[in-house]
């Protein structure tokens, strides 16, 4: 009886200890807009209330706090430098800076939440909780995506209200969930899958789960016509094959059977692409406002960008621009970012100012109506200059250190996860303004901490 009571008390204690971590994770992932308080007529999102409080909770309970703090220092430097640069930003550009600095602040607290909860709960408990959270969230997101694909119902936010609607003509049968865009949706999937690759050490031994993840990444990316998503699914497929090389000979029949089933479903999905072409919302469709074309107001729309150019030249220029594919536009976005960096290599152009400068047609290379960089690292580099380089180096050096020390399987796991992270950062127009960027940084830095903690233990032993 005493033993049962002891186990029961330990179970309750564990739940209480893990509750702040679980609550903060759910608030972050399922969008702060779903969890709001209205105080004095103003909307206060709970992510900037719950996540900092949860961080303090684990900070007080953890040990070796200074060592943990070092892992979040690169993000703090970005945040401080962004605040310093804020005063020099034009008033019209501060709306972009506000959005970016807000997510950076959330990222700083969320990364520290992961780091200090890892210290407080211990490796085993933290990893178990994180795995359940990642798997549970992945199942929910995929399930809702399936409903959106099969029945056309969308779960969206309208005027800060969560609604279920069939009216979403741009993406009628494409999964978007609460993120309003299939690229954003797939970016969240990739971050969740990358977290599982790093923290579920048994995933490399679960062939069926690997095949299911490969299949859903491929199918959902194909439905959304997201080429980077398809590339990510191919990378995960390579991880699947490499991580199972040892087991192929032992379980050849089972392996071949499941590979055959997966390829069959994948080929079927790929062959039905013609049926979903009407759902494709490519970058060319964004370049012209068809309602204004019908109203013959194209000239007015173009007058800002094409001053002192004749009507004939305007239409010819527009026709040439429409030939630009998304790859060329993305390439030009990167070139503009590098050009911004060359302009201000030390201090950067300021938080959110890549988007602002491009909107003001200050970019050297034409990118149509695409203002955001579509590239996480280019945003960091161009907007934060030298501090951005320090941040990027912290990610790269941590990767190289673990790659050098890790086993063959650890190296494959690390490469796969980080390639998926890079692709996730390229999918949305502005990855820095999405909460999954905070989740990605939390996963990366707590993985670094877990590895270095393991190294310290090995040295002591």
- For residue 314, being part of any structural domain is answered with no
| pLDDT for 291 | 42
- For residue 77, being part of any structural domain is answered with yes
| pLDDT for 112 | 96
When pLDDT is averaged across residues 104-118 and rounded to a whole number, the result is: 95
Confidence of residue 316 (pLDDT cuts 50, 70, 90): very low
Confidence of residue 127 (pLDDT cuts 50, 70, 90): very high
Q: Is 146 exposed, middle or buried (0-12, 13-18, 19+ CB in 10 A)?
A: middle
325 against 456, higher pLDDT: 325
Number of DSSP helices (H) and strands (E) in the chain, helices first: 19, 4
Tokens, residue 153: 């119902």
Residues 6 or more apart in contact with residue 179 via CB below 8 angstroms: 31, 185, 188, 434
User: CA-to-CA distance for 191 and 443, rounded, in angstroms?
Assistant: 9
Q: Is 42 helix (H, G, I), strand (E, B) or coil?
A: strand
48 against 380, higher pLDDT: 380
Whether the pLDDT of residue 240 is over 90: the answer is no
- For residue 223, being part of any structural domain is answered with yes
pLDDT in tens, 157-186: 555 555 555 555 556 667 777 777 888 889
Whether the pLDDT of residue 196 is over 90: the answer is yes
| pLDDT for 248 | 58
- For residue 327, being part of any structural domain is answered with no
| Main-chain phi, psi angles of 182, to 5 degrees | -65, -35
Q: What percent of the chain has pLDDT over 90?
A: 36
Q: Quickly count: other Cβ atoms within 10 Å of residue 158's Cβ.
A: 8
- For residue 139, being part of any structural domain is answered with yes
Task: State the alpha helices, DSSP H only, in 44-93.
Answer: 47-61, 65-86
- Cβ proximity of 118 and 450 under 8 Å: yes
When pLDDT is averaged across residues 335-359 and rounded to a whole number, the result is: 91
| pLDDT for 178 | 74
- For residue 450, being part of any structural domain is answered with yes
| pLDDT for 400 | 93
Residues 6 or more apart in contact with residue 154 via CB below 8 angstroms: 148, 164, 165, 166, 168, 171, 176, 177
pLDDT in tens, 363-405: 778 777 777 888 999 999 999 999 999 999 999 999 999 998 8
When pLDDT is averaged across residues 395-423 and rounded to a whole number, the result is: 90
Tokens, residue 122: 């211990």
| pLDDT for 132 | 94
| pLDDT for 136 | 94
Confidence of residue 331 (pLDDT cuts 50, 70, 90): confident
Q: Which domain holds residue 161?
A: 16-287+348-460
Confidence of residue 278 (pLDDT cuts 50, 70, 90): very low
- For residue 372, being part of any structural domain is answered with yes
Q: Is 171 helix (H, G, I), strand (E, B) or coil?
A: helix
- For residue 333, being part of any structural domain is answered with no
Tokens, residue 222: 């194909």
Q: How many domains does the chain have?
A: 1
Give the position of tokens 């040990």: 63
| pLDDT for 257 | 55
Whether the pLDDT of residue 272 is over 70: the answer is no
Q: Quickly count: other Cβ atoms within 10 Å of residue 342's Cβ.
A: 9
When pLDDT is averaged across residues 323-334 and rounded to a whole number, the result is: 77
What residues does 192 pair with on adjacent strands?
A: none
User: CA-to-CA distance for 206 and 240, rounded, in angstroms?
Assistant: 10
Whether the pLDDT of residue 277 is over 50: the answer is no
369 against 111, higher pLDDT: 111
User: CA-to-CA distance for 67 and 10, rounded, in angstroms?
Assistant: 28
| pLDDT for 294 | 40
When pLDDT is averaged across residues 28-55 and rounded to a whole number, the result is: 71
């Amino acid at each position: 009886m005493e033993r049962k009571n002891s186990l029961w008390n330990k179970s309750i204690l564990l739940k209480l200890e893990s509750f702040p971590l679980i609550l903060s994770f759910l608030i972050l992932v399922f969008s702060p807009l779903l969890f709001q308080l209205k105080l004095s007529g103003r909307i206060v999102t709970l992510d900037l209330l719950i996540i900092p409080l949860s961080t303090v909770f684990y900070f007080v309970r953890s040990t070796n706090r200074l060592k943990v703090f070092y892992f979040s220092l690169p993000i703090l430097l970005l945040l401080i430098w962004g605040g310093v640069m804020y005063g020099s930003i034009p008033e019209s550009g501060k709306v972009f800076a506000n959005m970016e600095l807000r997510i950076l602040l959330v990222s700083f607290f969320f990364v520290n939440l992961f780091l200090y909860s890892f210290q407080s709960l211990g490796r085993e408990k933290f990893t178990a909780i994180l795995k359940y959270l990642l798997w549970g969230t992945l199942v929910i997101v995929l399930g809702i995506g399936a409903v959106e694909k099969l029945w056309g119902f969308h779960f969206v936010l309208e005027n800060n209200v969560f609604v279920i609607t069939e009216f979403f003509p741009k993406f009628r049968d494409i999964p978007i969930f609460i993120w309003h865009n299939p690229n954003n949706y797939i970016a969240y999937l990739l971050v969740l899958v990358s977290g599982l690759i790093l923290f579920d050490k048994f995933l490399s031994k679960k062939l069926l789960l690997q095949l299911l993840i490969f299949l859903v990444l491929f199918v959902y990316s194909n439905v959304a016509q997201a080429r980077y998503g398809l590339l990510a699914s191919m990378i995960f497929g390579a991880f699947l094959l490499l991580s199972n090389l040892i087991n192929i000979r032992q379980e050849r029949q089972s392996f071949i059977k499941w590979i055959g089933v997966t390829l069959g479903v994948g080929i079927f999905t790929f062959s039905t692409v013609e049926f979903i072409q009407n759902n494709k919302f490519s970058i060319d469709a964004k370049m012209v406002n068809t309602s204004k074309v019908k109203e013959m107001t194209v000239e007015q729309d173009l007058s800002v960008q094409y001053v002192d150019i004749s009507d004939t030249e305007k239409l010819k220029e527009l026709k040439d621009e429409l030939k630009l594919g998304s790859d060329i536009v993305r390439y030009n976005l990167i070139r503009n970012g590098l050009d911004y960096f060359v302009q201000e290599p030390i201090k950067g152009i300021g938080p959110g100012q890549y988007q602002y400068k491009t909107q003001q047609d200050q970019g050297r290379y034409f990118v149509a109506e695409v203002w955001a960089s579509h590239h996480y690292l280019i945003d960091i580099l161009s907007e934060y200059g030298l501090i951005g380089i320090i941040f990027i180096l912290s990610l790269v050096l941590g990767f190289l250190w673990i790659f050098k020390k890790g086993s063959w399987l650890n190296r494959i796991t690390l490469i796969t996860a980080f390639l998926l992270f890079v692709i996730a950062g390229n999918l949305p127009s502005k990855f820095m303004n999405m909460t999954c960027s905070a989740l990605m940084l939390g996963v990366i830095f707590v993985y670094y901490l877990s590895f270095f903690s393991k190294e310290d233990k090995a040295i002591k032993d």
